[in-house]
Each structure stands twice: as structure tokens, then as C-alpha cells.
Amino acid sequence: MHNDEFPGWHGTTIIGVKKAGEVVIAGDGQVSLGQTVIKGTARKVRRLSPGGFDVVAGFAGSTADAFTLLERLEAKLEATPGQLARASVELAKDWRTDKYLQKLEAMLIVSDGNELLVITGAGDVLEPEHDVAAIGSGGNYALAAARGLMQSERSAEDIAREAMKIAADICVYTNGNLTIEKINK
């Protein structure tokens, strides 16, 4: 079934904040089907450790699709240890050109503590401006809030938490049940 015919699993907010040698990726726990909350405690932020190399990833979109992409990213990282950007570009190329992967509907925010990247099915690997990235239905709200807080003395985690709180107050597809993963340079 195509998304236009069925409302689908929907709604999340994921944010990545890079500040003072620390990267935090936070995600809410809400999963909605149409206008109904199906689950409020989903974990949409994961730590990957291919070959002892730590990477934190958050996803928005279809959970099954995101897990497929995370497995592919992990394989790319095993093939190119310590090279997150290269592994991300290789994943994006596959995602864009492979007939099966093209159908996957998700977005990823990933970090190794040095780089903060957004990976999309359109073949994009984006390093965000201002060291903040956000995806999902409440992503623009969280992004605006975090951008406004970046000049403060707050830590990356405090900025991410406050931005997610603001997004949850505005976006009906976002809740305040957070999963937070930190990674340092």
C-alpha cells in the first residue's frame, strides 16, 4: 500500500546537537497511527559499535525501514572503520540506486562524536549548519528551539532536552519520553 492510501506509522522528533566536544542525539518515544498514539516509549536512538567504533544514530520514519538502514550503515562502517562520512555516503548511494532500498521511508541522524550528519533517501549526506540537525514531524520546532539556545552556556544535552520539550509542546506527534545518547570526541 502506498502512503497516500494508508496513514501509516507516523510522527517522531529526533535532534542532534554538537557543542563543546560533545554530541547528543535525542528522540521522543511516540509512535502514532493516524490520529491515535500506538506507543509512547519507543526507542528511536541507538548506539552502534561496529569494530569497537562508536556511532550514535537516531531515526525518523518507518521503524522496519530504519532498522534495515542501520544494519546497512553498520556493515558500511565495518568496511570503512573510523570513516563515518565515507560509510554514510556509501549508504546514501546504495539507498538511492538499489531498487529495494529506494522504497525505504526513513531518515537518519548519525554521529561519531566528530561529525554530525543527516542521511536521506534522496542520496543526501548533510552536515548541518550551526551544529544542530533535526528530523521528523517535530523536527523544525526542535531545530528552531535548539538554534536559539546554541549561544547560551547550556551543554549539548541541556539544549537537546529543552528543544525536545518545546517540540513536544507544539507537535502532536511528539512526546516527552526521551531517549538520549551522548558521544564525545
For the question of residue 12 being annotated catalytic, the response is yes
Task: State the binding site for Na(+).
Answer: 168, 171, 174
Banded model confidence at residue 61, pLDDT cuts 50, 70, 90: confident
Which pLDDT score, from 0 to 100, does residue 5 have?
A: 43
Q: Please write the tens of the pLDDT for every residue from 86-143.
A: 999 999 999 989 888 888 888 999 999 999 999 998 889 999 999 999 999 999 999 9
pTM over 0.75, yes/no: yes
Which pLDDT score, from 0 to 100, does residue 104 have?
A: 86
Interacting residues of 159 by C-beta distance below 8 A, sequence separation 6+? 17, 19, 24, 132, 146, 149, 150, 152
Q: How far apart are CA 144 and CA 61, in angstroms?
A: 21
State the average pLDDT over residues 16-27.
Answer: 97
User: Taking a C-beta distance cutoff of 8 angstroms, is the pair 181, 17 a contact?
Assistant: no
Q: Could you tell me the domains of the chain?
A: 9-174 (3.60.20.10)
Which pLDDT score, from 0 to 100, does residue 121 have?
A: 84
